[in-house]
Amino acid sequence: MPELPEVEHSRRIWDAGLGHRVLKVLVPHPSVRDFRGTDVRALQDQLAGQVFLSSEANGKQLLFRFGRAGSLWLGMHLGMSGRLSVESDSIEPGKHDHLILRQAKRSLVFSDQRQFGRVLFHQGIEPPDWWARLAPPILSDQFTVKAVSNFLRRRRSTSLKAVLLMQERFPGIGNWMADEILWRAYLNPATKAGELEPATAAKLWRTVRRVTRLSLASIQKDWDYPATWLFQHRWDDGGKCPRCHSQLRRATIGGRTTCWCPTCQAAR
């Protein structure tokens, strides 16, 4: 379930290898979809022998930096089922392990069952272009109420649910976070973006930031989310709203399975 907090959590998992050299790069299945458009050979040849310097996350994107000059970059998107882990230095690749960075005392492993993820490789002192072009992070100063209001206006005839999933404005928000945000803001997921009054748009902006902050804090502490969140009830048939105990509803909105409380989030 890699949305913003899970991506940030994944980033930290590989921190175990920071400052250490990559001795060997294993790519057991170079033709998997995760490597579409990537020069796997260059990735393997160039990263071998280099030190793992730093990592960064923005939304669902990850960027790892390597090499003495810091000029080697490994970009990553976890897709639907991507996972980062740290295993022993001698771990043999499993069926879904697609990239293994072998270090002296551990292996940094990327695995991805469904292959919706992506691994990119870039050489150069500057970070890759695609990274520089990403939308400003939700918790940054550039994520303003004005930027959100303008976006809602431009996308006026799209449902709020679909709008929140657009990475160009809400980097890192995925299906469950979008539902959590709308539930907390008492907004119906099918409401058109253009229908929000300025005060409601501001409330949505605040709630996007709050859910992002709380989920990051929560995953750091407990690796889970509180039972008071919609998150813990959304997948059970017969799930109840943790606030008013109404029966939750589920339907496809904005092309995705959406869960909401018909009482708290009554359509206007």
Partner DNA sequence: GTGCTTGTTGGCCA
Partner DNA sequence: GTGGCCAACAAGCA
Q: Minimal CA–CA distance to 138: which of 59, 67, 194, 39?
A: 59
**Least distance (Å) from DNA to the CB of residue 67?**
26
Q: Minimal CA–CA distance to 4: which of 244, 266, 217?
A: 217
Q: Which residues bind DNA (CB under 7 A)?
A: 1-3, 6, 32-33, 59-60, 77, 79-80, 95-96, 113-116, 154-159, 162, 165, 167, 174-176, 235, 252, 254-257
Q: Check if 3 is active-site.
A: yes
**Least distance (Å) from DNA to the CB of residue 60?**
4
Q: Check if 203 is active-site.
A: no
Pairing of strands 107-112, 97-102: antiparallel
Q: Check if 60 is active-site.
A: yes
Q: What phi-psi label fits residue 121: left (phi over 0), alpha (psi between -120 and 50 degrees) or beta?
A: beta
**Least distance (Å) from DNA to the CB of residue 181?**
13
Which of 71, 232 has the CB closer to DNA? 232
Active-site residue identified among 127, 203, 256, 262 = 256
Which of 165, 241 has the CB closer to DNA? 165
Q: Check if 242 is active-site.
A: no
Are 261 and 243 within 8 A, CB to CB? yes
Which of 1, 18 has the CB closer to DNA? 1
The string of DSSP codes covering 67-125 is STTS-EEEEEE-TTTEEEEEE-TTPPP-TTEEEEEE-SS-EEEEEESS---EEEEEESS
Which of 49, 79 has the CB closer to DNA? 79
Active-site residue identified among 5, 60, 161, 189 = 60
Output the CA angle 183-189-190, nearest 5 degrees.
Answer: 155
By annotation, the residues acting in catalysis are 2-3, 60, 256
